[in-house]
Amino acid sequence: MQYLVSVIDDKSNPGSTDRRPAISAFNERLIAEGYWVFAGGLADTDAATVIDNRGEQAVFSDGPFVESKEYLAGVWVWEAPDLDVALKLAAEASKVCDRKVEVRPFR
Amino acid sequence: MSDVEEAITRAHHEEWARVVAAVTRRFGDLDIAEEAAAEAFATAVERWPADGVPPNPGAWLTTTANRKAIDRIRRENKRDDKHKEAQMVYEADPPEPVGAIDDDRLRLIFTCCHPALAMETRVALTLRMVGGLTVPEIARAFLVAESAMGQRITRAKAKIKAARIPYRVPAAEDLPARLTGVLAVLYLAFNEGYLATGPDTDPVRQDLTAEAIRLTRLIRALLPQDGEVAGLLALMLLTEARRPARISVSGELVALDEQDRGAWDTGLIAEGHRLVRERLAAAAAGVALGRYQILAAINAVHTSARDIRDTDWSQVLALYDQLIRLDTSPIIALNRAIAVAELDGPEAALAIVDRLAEALAGYHAYHATRADLLRRLGQSQQSRAAYDRAIDLAGNTGETAYLTRRRDQLQ
């Protein structure tokens, strides 16, 4: 089963900034152990644009779809046999990137 | 009640979790398992009066529930492959060895108490799936509308399915962490029964305390080496033992110092004391005691005293001192202050209690304890105000009646 692991950043309580070496090492392990599907960090929410083309013409608006002190900073996609495995990895992931993470299964 | 009705009631009590667990293992779906178990019991109600009670009711109910589950999957999935799959799973499974059945129930408890579910959902789901309580019963216990509780349980089952929460007892290394949650769920369920909330609720919900004890006994049987399991069971037994003396005929809560100790259940006390002695022996051999074991030991001191005046308060205080190092909760500090009052007087206790004002402002027992200490210090006016606040916050009918009487006795 595949899980989306969202890295949650927090404007009022940010984690430490340079976690890249630790995250790279963790990613190597995910690959070696067969959990890795995909991962990527996201640019700041200032760079986001929301598009709504459900009406007559597309409306482009500046900024993320929701303004909050917490925002999505990056994602992993993992392949794991069940939630317990995903949660155990997620607990490590949160420590490694020094941020909260959310685990959600793909349908 | 006829013999058959009694057999059905007993089977529901003893076999419900086993049936749900067995069907869940086979079909991997709590919804189907629950429906099938309910249908199997309904069939028993129809058939047993005519056919007689089967020699092994649990096996009969499990077999019937498995058939019902297959029927349901057939009805719901016309698609051939699903249907075939279900049948294959069913037919390929050999008859279950008796030993594995209990592990099945434990698996069910751990699934319902998975850390990915909110604590209150874990309690509700455990009472429903493992305890066999109805949704209206659980809703009453938690003072929420039946529809809201139904939704909460439905959502929890959906999350278990969608997030693929495994149906298993966690691996040995995860067990301590997961067991903590399971014990917390059972303790919450017990406490809700022992001090039930709600203006229309009986002050004690014996169904809930009995169910919590039954489930804890089950875990004790499966994990006999775990000290905290033994401690929680002892704590529940020693608390439950006092229940017959705890509510007056008029429905008022009777405080420990006014209880008729002759009404306490000596059988439960003996069993609780045995468990506490076992844990104290382990402690003497160097094992660190957890919070349930210490709480049980405190209750053992109380239940050892023939009269409130015989209570070994210095022992109680020593245990609270030990507990407070493990659990810094202000509620523990409040309870410790009650022992301090007995040993060093109400003034010393009040000084401790007043320091908890901020943390416990919304907790009825804080105001009730303060009211009692102020009463003993002769500060009637302040005591009355504290009783008023406690009465406002207390959710238990027996407790409200008790606090009101104490307030009205003030000069």
- Contact yes or no for B116 and A105 at CB 8 A: no
Amino acid at B394: A
Q: What is the model's pLDDT at position B84? A: 56
B295-346 pLDDT tens trace:
999 999 999 999 999 999 999 999 999 999 998 999 999 999 999 999 999 9
B115 touches chain A (CB under 8 A): yes
Copy the structure tokens of residue B348. Answer: 């010393």
Its CATH architecture, for the domain B1-92, is Orthogonal Bundle (1.10)
Q: Are B400 and B391 in contact (CB under 8 A)?
A: yes
Q: What is the ipTM of this complex?
A: 0.83
Mean pLDDT value across residues B77-92 = 56
Q: Cα distance from B9 to chain A (closest Cα, Å)? A: 36
pLDDT at B376 over 50: yes
β-bridge mates for residue A9, sequence order: A71
φ and ψ of A37, to 5 deg: -120, -50
Cα nearest neighbour of A103 on chain B: B163
Q: Are B349 and B375 in contact (CB under 8 A)?
A: no
What is the SS3 assignment for B376? helix
To probe the interface with A, which of B164, B173, B175 has the most A CB atoms within 10 Å? B164
The torsion angle over the Cα atoms of residues B23, B25, B30 and B34, rounded to 10 degrees, is 20
Q: Please report, for chain B, the start and end positions of each structural domain, with discontinuous segments joined by +.
A: 1-92, 110-218, 225-246+260-311, 323-410
Contact residues on chain A for B28, CB-CB shorter than 8 A: none
Which of A83, A104, A107 lies closest to B165 in CB terms? A83
pLDDT at A6 over 90: yes
Mean pLDDT of chain A: 93
Q: Taking the CA of residue B188 as centre, how many other CA atoms within 13 Å lie in the half-sphere pointing to its CB?
A: 19
A84 touches chain B (CB under 8 A): yes
What is the SS3 assignment for B171? coil
Q: Are B158 and A75 in contact (CB under 8 A)?
A: no
Question: Which residues touch B3 (CB under 8 Å, ≥6 apart)?
Answer: B53
Q: What letter does residue B97 receive in the DSSP assignment? A: P
What is the SS3 assignment for B166? coil
**B338 vs B313: CA distance, rounded Å:** 10
B92 touches chain A (CB under 8 A): no
The domain that holds A101 is classified in CATH as 3.30.70.1060
Its CATH architecture, for the domain B323-410, is Alpha Horseshoe (1.25)
Q: What is the model's pLDDT at position B102? A: 62
Domain hosting residue A97, numbered range = 2-105
pLDDT at B91 over 70: no
Copy the structure tokens of residue B306. Answer: 């023939």
Mean pLDDT value across residues A3-14 = 90
Question: Which residues touch B185 (CB under 8 Å, ≥6 apart)?
Answer: B112, B113, B119, B122, B123, B126
Q: Are B134 and B113 in contact (CB under 8 A)?
A: no
Q: What is the model's pLDDT at position B78? A: 62
Taking CA atoms, B37 is separated from B16, B164, B174, B394, in Å, by 7, 22, 30, 38
Domain count, chain A: 1
Q: Are B126 and B105 in contact (CB under 8 A)?
A: no
